[in-house]
């Protein structure tokens, strides 16, 4: 009950713009949660823990709160206009929740001065004000992992250096596909709507939108004076199932071509054209093209755009169906 009362007091203090003053024994940690089964949880999660036994404080600041029941949620999500918010919870409740859905929580206690810890808490309190806590979510450039990183960077300046390479030299498309795991159709769909921007090589900072990348980057980081950024940690590797071969964009297109050739041979053998299949596929092409055009011009998603691979589908379709007319 005492912890709950302190949490309520802290939330009230944040809303009244008063920042709790940390003691010398205060600790600030980066929390990383392993992936879940839902589409939005497949990439993991990041949060910030502030612990101060002197003040009876052990809380988590979480930038990943959203409300699926809000008005027109799915329409806003498609258009890239989904608002997330910063939430506060006790560490016990946070860890219990993620544990209840089969997700582990790793921690990294940061090697910070009291002034730096206070600076991070001050920024979090300002972010939690009613006028600031909601933000326009951007899957790549403004999410639950990028916000803690930029807070940490603001507190430490440009003194963070890391030897971790990770996804260096990898494009957004490849990195995102890695985390879809067994979600074959999710991966295929994402690859279809991603445009050429997704094939851009990520910079060192851009790849930190992935919680696991941020965790490993921080683990290998050190300060300007050579001291490690992490004082103590318990981390692990995300258990990601490999993407099935048929979910690969090129594999899917190749398989489509083989099926079209097989259909043409079958029609040629029986001497009858399967007009229904062609008509259905034409309808699919039209729907896909309309969807991509809509997302390209009316969506705020940064990586969405016209995908020239989509043009291969009707082209392969036409070429494959030409087999029907090959002389016997």
pLDDT in tens, 145-173: 999 999 999 999 877 888 888 877 788 98
Q: How confident is residue 189, by pLDDT bands cut at 50, 70 and 90?
A: confident
Percent of all residues in the chain with a pLDDT value above 90, rounded to a whole number = 41
For 212-277, give the DSSP string: HHHHHHHHTEE-TTS-BSEEEEE------PPPPGGGSHHHHHHHHHHHHHHHHHHHHHHT---HHH
The arithmetic mean of pLDDT across residues 51-77, rounded, is 85
Taking the C-alpha atoms of residue 299 and residue 7, their distance in angstroms, rounded to an integer, is 38
Judged against a pLDDT cut of 50, whether residue 6 lies above it is answered with no
Q: Is the pLDDT of residue 121 over 70?
A: yes
Asked whether residue 9 carries a pLDDT value surpassing 50, the answer given is: no
Average pLDDT over residues 11-31: 77
- Which among 44, 39, 79, 15 has a CA at the least distance from the CA of 212? 44
* DSSP character at residue 109: E
Pick 20 or 213 by higher pLDDT.
213
Crossing angle between the packed helical segments 275-298 and 312-321, to the nearest 10 degrees: 170
Question: Can you give the pLDDT at residue 2?
Answer: 46
Element (H, E) at 281: helix 275-298
Buried b (16+ CB within 10 A) or exposed e, 121-154: bebbbebbeeeebeeebbbbebbbbbbbbebbee
Mean predicted confidence (pLDDT) in 206-216? 94
DSSP helix, strand, coil percent of the chain (3-state; round to 5):
50, 15, 35
Q: Answer yes or no: are the C-beta atoms of 52 and 27 closer than 8 Å.
A: yes
Strand ranges for the chain from DSSP E: 27-33, 45-52, 57-65, 83-90, 105-110, 134-136, 161-162, 221-222, 230-234
Burial class (CB in 10 A: 0-12, 13-18, 19+), 52: buried
* SS3 state at 206: helix
pLDDT at 95: 94
Are 29 and 234 a contacting pair, CB within 8 Å? no
Give per-residue pLDDT as tens, 269-323.
Answer: 888 888 889 999 999 888 888 887 887 777 778 888 777 777 888 888 888 888 7
Angle at 285 between CA 186 and CA 199, to 5 degrees: 50
pLDDT over 90 at 225, yes or no: no
For the chain, give every domain's residue range.
2-168+204-234, 248-325
What's the chain's average pLDDT? 85
Q: Using the 8-state DSSP alphabet, how is residue 124 labeled?
A: H
- How far from the centroid of its chain's Cα atoms is residue 22's Cα? 32
N-term to C-term CA, the chain: 84
What region, left, alpha or beta, does residue 102 occupy, with left being phi > 0 and alpha being psi -120 to 50 degrees?
A: left
pLDDT at 105 > cutoff 60 = yes
Distance between CA atoms of 228 and 222, rounded to whole angstroms? Answer: 4
Give the separation between CA 58 and CA 60, rounded to whole angstroms.
7
Name the DSSP letter for residue 309: G
Count how many residues are written for the chain. Answer: 328
Query: What integer is the mean pLDDT of 38-58?
Result: 92
Distance separating alpha carbons of residues 42 and 311, to the nearest angstrom? 29
Q: pTM for the complete prediction?
A: 0.84
Q: Residues 179, 139: contact at Cβ < 8 Å? A: no
Q: Tokens 């802290």 label which residue?
A: 10
């Amino acid at each position: 009950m005492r912890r709950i009362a302190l949490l309520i007091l802290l939330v009230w203090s944040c809303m009244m713009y008063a920042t709790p003053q940390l003691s010398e024994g205060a600790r600030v940690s980066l929390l990383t949660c392993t992936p879940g089964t839902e589409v939005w949880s497949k990439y993991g999660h990041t949060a910030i823990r502030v612990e101060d036994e002197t003040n009876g404080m052990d809380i988590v600041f979480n930038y990943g709160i959203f409300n699926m029941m809000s008005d027109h949620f799915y329409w806003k999500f498609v258009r890239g206009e989904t608002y997330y918010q910063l939430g506060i919870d006790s560490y016990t409740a946070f860890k219990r929740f993620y544990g209840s859905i089969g997700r582990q929580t790793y921690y990294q206690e940061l090697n910070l001065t009291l002034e730096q810890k206070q600076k991070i808490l001050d920024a979090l309190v300002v972010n939690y004000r009613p006028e600031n806590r909601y933000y326009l979510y951007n899957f790549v450039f403004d999410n639950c992992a990028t916000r803690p990183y930029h807070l940490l960077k603001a507190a430490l300046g440009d003194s963070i250096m890391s030897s971790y390479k990770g996804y260096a030299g990898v494009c957004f498309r490849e990195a995102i596909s890695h985390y879809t795991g067994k979600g074959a159709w999710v991966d295929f769909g994402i690859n279809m709507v991603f445009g050429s921007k997704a094939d851009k090589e990520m910079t060192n900072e851009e790849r930190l939108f992935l919680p696991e990348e941020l965790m490993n980057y921080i683990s290998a980081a050190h300060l300007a004076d050579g001291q490690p950024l992490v004082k103590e940690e318990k981390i692990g590797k995300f258990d990601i199932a490999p993407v099935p071969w048929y979910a690969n964009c090129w594999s899917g297109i190749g398989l489509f071509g083989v099926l079209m050739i097989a259909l043409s041979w079958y029609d040629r053998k029986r001497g009858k054209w399967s007009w229904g299949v062609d008509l259905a596929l034409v309808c699919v092409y039209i729907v896909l093209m309309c969807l991509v055009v809509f997302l390209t011009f009316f969506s705020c998603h940064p990586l969405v755009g016209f995908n020239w691979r989509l043009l291969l589908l009707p082209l392969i379709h036409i070429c494959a169906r030409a087999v029907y007319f090959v002389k016997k």
